[in-house]
Amino acid sequence: MAHVVVPEAESILDKEFKVLDKGFVRLVDYLGGDARIVQAARVSYGEGTKSYREDAALIDYLLRHEHTSPFEQVILTFHVKLPIFVARQWIRHRTARVNEMSSRYSILPDEFYVPATEDLAVQSKDNKQGRSDEPLSATEAEEVLGVIQQAQDQAYDGYSALIERNLARELARIVLPVSVYTQWYWQIDLHNLFRFFQLRLDPHAQKEIRLYAQTMLEITRAVAPMAVDSFERNLLHGVRFSGPEMEELRRRLSALQDSTGQLGQSGESVQALQPEVGHLKGKDLERFEEKLKTGRQL
């Protein structure tokens, strides 16, 4: 196979894309692109690259039918600057290779994440791990930001004092909060990167990590635009139904067709049609209704 060079990716190599107040993402390197996926998929046939439309159709077929190995041929390496609390969510994606800045060797700079005023909200009543959609008032937000910044200043003052006393850096760092920024190199293949995007672009993911994922998705689009388009169409904006959910969907469509003589002529929505007579109950029914409304996997 010839070395795959993607001009759009070459043009953004080492360019910083700002995320949050002090963070960024850079594409450090990449291996392959759409052409590599196509070449890998066609290797058993001994056929080369065909037309753009045929290549896009092949990539779409591979993704829809979960033929994942050709996507693993494409590898991206990112340099990311991010708060530690985001890194601790991120590191759960164990299919990547990571090299993180070490605070045992280096003195961490005085850089902490401070949320924007509009991102400050109370705890959600129905989501134990997230914030609500209700922002704080201007007065409350100002007070909260004051508390956050004061705590960060005090923590870094303590850290600096311990460093000046020549305490081991691996011990001095323990006074720092999870809002302090770290950096890492993060290398991952395209198949597992798409899985990262599926989870971290979901509306239920924490906003801060979603912003990183959104930036990285656009960077990835420069490397493999056909693959990203297919991912968005089939996975990111698609949804899977369980067996019972499919039965409920068939029941509603059948009832709607029987009541109108022709599907879609009554003005009734599939979501609203006789949910009480189906087999889904409670949380199962709520999840099904949410899928119909948003198209997101829950």
Per the listing, tokens 């993180």 go with 100
Active site residue 200: yes
Q: How far is 291 from 249, CA to CA, in rounded Å?
A: 11
Of the candidates 200, 221, 252, 296, the residue annotated as catalytic is: 200
Residues involved in catalysis: 200
